Structure 1
């Protein structure tokens, strides 16, 4: 159901949270606005600095990492699903890897999700469970095994 101009609707959508350009276009299209009106609104929002895929990607990635929702490959996938260009995604992932210590993030995720987990005494099943969880969060196997190094991780 359309209410007002696509620009006004865009402002209401962006007031709730930042969006990528592709997300905003999709939402406006779902609400029944025409392509021309959507394009004009998006261009105006970009000119006003209210719509910026790079800013959105940085904010999304930083929040996801701080809240333990993902890292690396997971972030790349999530940003791509939201329509952020590959070049921007690469830049943001490089910034994130400089800003956050991967080993500290891994240790924090393990401590939060699996309190008391000790790779030295864990069974193979427990280790596989932890490794699978960390892989789903976007960490590579090499990084995970390096973190758990010397503790008989599966696949070593």
Structure 2
């Protein structure tokens, strides 16, 4: 490159100008659409990601308002889908669901409502048995050592299962309910 020439403008993956070189509102909107195309986000998650990418707070807030009005951004929908996925995978149950939703930026009232509704619809003992059978197929509560039982107890408690349900499983084997 000759000495007097300016370096070429930065290009993003779509071979367009970087967000510093074009309308910041349009760049923020495009970035938000790309993020939402991958997965649902809470408003707080999307806000954090857009601010981390260098967009101004006023632009981000206006964009979040528009996305919420148009239905692209919905904290209730995000919370319900996240809870469903967490329950299906065995990642979380009970109080841990609420805590995880709040960590993802969901309002505490909404997090409590969605997690309470989801956990009342599911039999905790059945979910517990299913998780143990899937994650620890060789575990037999009748022949397990004290160390194994403590490890299983801690694992299940960290997932949010109640102490009573865990003890019931460990005492009665697979005959809980």
TM-score, length-scaled by structure 2:
0.79
Q: Provide the residue aligned with 2:107 in structure 1.
A: 85
Q: Provide the residue aligned with 1:104 in structure 2.
A: 126
Q: Provide the residue aligned with 1:94 in structure 2.
A: 116
Which of 7, 25, 31 pairs up with 1:9? Answer: 31
Q: Provide the residue aligned with 1:146 in structure 2.
A: 168
Q: How does 1:6-155 map to 2 (within 5 A)?
A: 6-150=28-172
Counterpart CA distance in 2 for 1:125 and 1:131 is 10
What is the CA-CA distance between 1:120 and the residue it aligns to?
Answer: 2.1
Q: Deviations for 1:124-146, whole angstroms, at most 9, x for unmatched residues?
A: 11111110110111112122113
Counterpart CA distance in 1 for 2:28 and 2:139 is 52
Stretch moving more, 62-71 or 141-150: 141-150
Counterpart CA distance in 2 for 1:147 and 1:87 is 31
What is the CA-CA distance between 1:117 and the residue it aligns to?
Answer: 2.1
What is the CA-CA distance between 1:68 and the residue it aligns to?
Answer: 1.6
Q: Confirm or deny: 8 A CA contact 2:42 2:73 kept in the other structure.
A: yes
Q: Deviations for 1:75-108, whole angstroms, at most 9, x for unmatched residues?
A: 2222111111111111111221133221111001
TM-score, length-scaled by structure 1:
0.89
What is the CA-CA distance between 1:150 and the residue it aligns to?
Answer: 4.6
Stretch moving more, 6-15 or 54-63: 6-15
Structure showing greater radius of gyration is 2
Q: Please, which runs of 5 or more residues in structure 2 have no aligned partner?
A: 1-11, 13-17, 20-25
Q: Confirm or deny: 8 A CA contact 2:42 2:106 kept in the other structure.
A: yes
Counterpart CA distance in 2 for 1:131 and 1:36 is 47
Structure with more relative contact order (C-alpha pairs < 8 Å, separation 6 or more):
1
Q: Provide the residue aligned with 2:8 in structure 1.
A: none
Stretch moving more, 75-84 or 53-62: 75-84
Kindly report the root-mean-square deviation, in angstroms, between the aligned alpha carbons of the 2 structures: 1.7
